Amino acid sequence: MQNQSDFPTPYYLIDETKLARNMALIDQVQRESGAKCLLALKCFATWPVFELMSQTMAGTTSSSLYEVKLGRDKFPGETHAYSVAWSEQEMAEVLANSDKIIFNSLSQLARFEQQSRGHNRGLRVNPKVSSSSFSLADPARPFSRLGESDPDKIAAVIHQISGFMFHNNCENGDFPLFSQMLAHIEQTYGELLHQVEWVSLGGGIHFTGEGYPIADFCARLKQFADTYGVQVYLEPGEAAITNTASLEVSVLDVVENDKTLAIVDSSIEAHMLDLLIYRLDAKLPATGSVPVMVCGKSCLAGDIFGEFQFAEKPNVGDRLSIQDVAGYTMVKKNWFNGVSMPAIVVQRLNGKRERVQAFNYQDYLAGFGNQ
């Protein structure tokens, strides 16, 4: 590990002081509501800061075998294993490395019922309401594959499980909306909730945001836990790491084409993929009145961070600090959800197939740190 105050750009800069602020809010929520907070690794998997986070958070939740193993290896506390679909060959390792396993469907529960017997098991329930404004990220979208919905079908397997996972909030900073959707869950699944020991309400609740009514939120969670006699879990991803990291870049060139364009040593496709997928602008503090379009150095024509008001025209060599890049950003250089990278196989001219590259869990780990 290098230890100097300035590194060559580009680099992501994670600020532990800012992380500690979020952890203090999570600590407050855990104490006042009784809920346990698990970090959703699909949002943020940079394990060299897990020591700090694990002093507050109760463990991790996952979306793949690699995330289960990362949680077990690098984050003390509980390890929840969830995936949209487990495969036969990974089940033994998932069970060996997790405290709870959450199945996404009744068919997966049935398929692994024998093998997972004796393990603490849960089922994902899809309440068919969500706070998402992007269809791409909406778990309640039509034809959603994310969880079971029919209370009668769930009742038929209730003796096989001891918990439920609901994840239907998405970037939701609106407490009344959260509470209203929880009431819908209570109305639809109330009888079933009385029969389980734990309920995870998933992620997507932005309770660490400025001005969020934490006391009301805690009271609502506590009321829910008391009504059904359950341990509540939350699975914050974004809320845990919001506003804790920046992407440090340098200006490589400044050109004019009806607008002033600053080309930096980064690329949204390579380093901030969510901007491209969700058509969002990067966050750069506006400091003046000179409009500058900040562009990436890839040859993708639309590789643009956004247009920002600079104090003055930028110069080659200037440093820019793009804000709030921890969530869904560092994990998207590769390995999103911990989904294993495909190997690369070449079929040679003689018809023989040769595997020229294969990836494993160690490669996944190394993508986020090596100290």
CB of 300 to ligand PLP, least distance (A): 26
| Sequence-ordered alpha helix ranges (H) in the chain | 16-33, 50-54, 65-74, 91-96, 106-111, 151-155, 175-193, 214-228, 238-241, 268-271, 273-278, 361-366
Q: For residue 15, say whether it is annotated as part of any ligand binding site.
A: no
Any known ligand binding at 238? yes
Buried b vs exposed e over 286-318: b needs ≥16 C-beta within 10 Å? eeeeeebbbbbbeeeeebbbbbbebeeebeeeb
User: Closest separation between CB of residue 203 and ligand PLP, Å?
Assistant: 2
Question: Which amino acid, residue 196?
Answer: V
Give dist(CA 195, CA 113) in Å, integer: 19
Tell me the C-alpha distance between 350 and 141, whole Å: 48
Q: Which residues contact 281 (CB under 8 A, 6 or more apart)?
A: 275, 305, 306, 307
C-beta of 72 vs 264, nearer to ligand PLP: 72
Shortest Å distance, C-beta 61 to ligand PLP: 6
CA 254 to chain centre: 35
CB of residue 80 to ligand PLP, shortest distance in Å: 9
Other beta carbons within 10 Å of 33: 23
Helix 214-228, helix 175-193: angle, nearest 10: 10
Residues contacting residue 112 through CB under 8 Å, at least 6 positions apart: 86, 91, 103
> How crowded is residue 71: how many other Cβ atoms within 10 Å of its Cβ?
29
Cβ proximity to ligand PLP, 59 vs 236, nearer residue: 236
- Minimum CB distance to ligand PLP smaller for 328 or for 364: 328
Nearer CB in complex with ligand PLP: 124/292? 124
354: which 2 tokens?
Answer: 């040769």
Residue 124: CB minimum distance to ligand PLP, A: 7
Q: How far is the CB of 45 from ligand PLP (least distance, A)?
A: 12
The set of residues, in sequence order, having a beta carbon less than 8 Å from that of 366 and lying 6+ positions away, is: none
Binding positions for ligand PLP, rule: CB under 6 A: 40, 42-43, 61, 82, 167, 170, 202-204, 235-239
Give the separation between CA 184 and CA 125, rounded to whole angstroms: 13
Distance CA 212, CA 275 (A): 25
Of the pair 83, 266, the CB lying nearest ligand PLP is at 83
CB of 140 to ligand PLP, least distance (A): 12
Shortest separation between residue 291's beta carbon and ligand PLP, angstroms: 32
Nearer to ligand PLP, 61 or 116 (CB): 61
Query: Residue ranges of the alpha helices (H) in 255-351?
Result: 268-271, 273-278
User: Considering beta carbons, is residue 44 or 308 the nearer one to ligand PLP?
Assistant: 44
Name which of 54 and 168 has its Cβ closer to ligand PLP: 168
Residues placed in the known binding site: 238, 274
Residues placed in the known binding site for substrate: 238, 274
